Structure 1
Amino acid sequence: MNGGVSIHVVDVASGRVAQGMGVSIGAVGQASILEGNVDERGLLPLLETLGVCFGVGVYEVRLQVAAFYRARGASIADTPFLDELVYRFGIGDAREHYHLPFKLTAWGVSCFRGGA
């Protein structure tokens, strides 16, 4: 795969993909390129078709962590530890693919550039 971004989200508390979690991605200070929900594969659908939208620049992924856990019946405080998680990353070479594998719980997150 040349260029573009992919996102994979796993709820490590349950050991399953975070199906249904709201996610958006876009360049900092601009409208979202894509908004949607994590699918049954753990991916943000249609993102793989939008590679041309990702040039050199700084981007943000926004994950709706608290809403996801509340929808699953988790007891989340009114002021949650992780509410909307904003992950800012840079693309230095638009010809390369940037894979972001998020591993999270209501209390923490791990992400790195995968597949590089």
Structure 2
Amino acid sequence: MGKLSTHVLDITLGQAGVGVQIELYAVEAGGKRLLKTELTNHDGRCNAPLLEGADLKAGLYELVFAAGDYFDAQGHTLPSPKFIDRVTLAFGIADVTQNYHVPLVVSPWAYSTYRGS
């Protein structure tokens, strides 16, 4: 069976995003359902996969990263409101036998993602 994982890379500092709060939602017909909330570790990763085994189901998901809070904690002086605050990555899982790695590469002014394995 596959798994879902993520990590955060702070490209302002060129290092892992430590202590970033991440919320994982399942997107369903009736709306979004919070599946879990995690904090990134010293390597910018969660300590375990976000979903794996029978918990990994085909469907639509969202990862919401509290990037603005992270940059505040780093001591950045940012405008109010922040340009980048809560970053939402919406994606689909089609094949539960594969690994889905959905990282966030972020600065206070831009972000990107890609599908890793």
Superposed pair shares fold, TM > 0.5: yes
Residue 76 (structure 1) shift: 1.4
Asked if the contact 1:23–1:44 (Cα under 8 Å) also holds between the matched residues in 2, the reply is: no
Work out which of the residue numbers 30, 33, 41 in structure 2 matches 1:31.
Answer: 33
Asked if the contact 2:5–2:51 (Cα under 8 Å) also holds between the matched residues in 1, the reply is: no
2: CA distance, partners of 1:49 / 1:64 = 16
Alignment length (residue pairs): 113
2: CA distance, partners of 1:59 / 1:49 = 11
2:70 aligned counterpart, secondary structure: helix
TM-score between both structures, scaled by the size of structure 1: 0.89
The two structures, once aligned, show a CA RMSD in angstroms of 1.4
Residue 26 (structure 1) shift: 1.9
Q: Which residue number corresponds to residue 6 of structure 2?
A: 7
Q: Which residue number corresponds to residue 21 of structure 2?
A: 22
2: CA distance, partners of 1:26 / 1:97 = 18
1:1-116 alignment runs, 5 A limit: 2-28=1-27, 29-46=31-48, 48=49, 50-51=51-52, 52-115=54-117
Asked if the contact 2:19–2:70 (Cα under 8 Å) also holds between the matched residues in 1, the reply is: yes
Among all aligned residue pairs of Structure 1 and Structure 2, give the percentage whose two residues are the same amino acid: 27
- Give 2:65's aligned amino acid: L
Between 1:31-40 and 1:82-91, the stretch displaced more is: 31-40
TM-score between both structures, scaled by the size of structure 2: 0.89
Deviations 1:36-72 (A, max 9, x none): 21101211223x2731322110000000011110111
2: CA distance, partners of 1:50 / 1:93 = 13
- For structure 1, the 5+ residue unaligned runs are none
2: CA distance, partners of 1:54 / 1:25 = 12
1:31 aligned counterpart, secondary structure: strand
